[in-house]
Amino acid sequence: MKFLLHISRFAFVAIAATAFLSPIAIAQTPVKIEPGFDYRTLPVAQPLDTKGKVEVLEFFWYGCPHCYDFDPEITAWEKRQAKDVVFRQVPIAFRDELMPHSQLFYALEALGKSNLNSKVMYAIHKENKRLLNENEIADWVASQGVDRNAFLAAYRSFAVVSKARAAKQLGDAYRIDGVPTVAIQGKYITSPSIAGTRAKAIAVMDYLVEKVRKDKYQ
């Protein structure tokens, strides 16, 4: 009986150790990335703005709840990238009445206030603000400490309006039909909906960045 008891205790310790190590083992298990399932390759590659680097574009819309959920993760992803990764957000307006959001994005960029992007999304999704009317947008921006007149001048400027329209055209070129969607090196597309989860999308982005590096930024 003592021998059997000793075996039982040994088995219990072994099982407990396995249970303790399993999260580590899971974390070290490489994620399987499958082309055509976890990411897609565009039939026609789009021109790049930067040569000799990895270009990553996130197509998004301030009013998209999925973009709001993905924002902290893709922001953290950007911060841990090497210097050869160029990350840029592209606001998409699928309808003309949504263009004010794109103009808001580029006006903030023009004023050096892109740090307010996350606050814009919070205002829309948590404070029930639509921010689709010029006066409402200007009032909100002013509440964040930005000069109202300076903002309106940027918001109405030819440069900002042109960038907002160009962003829509770029989305059409990339065949963007939903957001958030991430394009890498002008030819690879992935997203939480394509990959299945936000975490998987981030893993796919890491995979594609390394793939571009191995392909010598082609």
Bridge partners, 188 (sequence order): 41, 184
According to CATH, the topology of domain 40-214 is Glutaredoxin (3.40.30)
Residue 131 pLDDT: 98
Report, as ranges of residue numbers, the positions in the chain whose pLDDT lies below 70.
1-29
Residue 189 pLDDT: 98
The 3-class SS string of the chain reads CHHHHHHHHHHHHHHHHHHHHHHHHHHHCCCCCCECCCEEECCCCCCCCCCCCEEEEEEECCCCHHHHHHHHHHHHHHHCCCCCEEEEEEECCCCHHHHHHHHHHHHHHHCCCHHHHHHHHHHHHHCCCCCCCHHHHHHHHHHCCCCHHHHHHHHHCHHHHHHHHHHHHHHHHCCCCCCCEEEECCCEEECHHHHCCHHHHHHHHHHHHHHHHHCCCC
- Domain ranges within the chain, ordered by starting residue: 1-30, 40-214
Residue 116 pLDDT: 98
What sign results for the dihedral spanned by CA atoms 189, 194, 198, 200? negative
Question: 12: Cβ–Cβ under 8 A, 6 or more apart, which residues?
Answer: none
Question: 119: Cβ–Cβ under 8 A, 6 or more apart, which residues?
Answer: 144
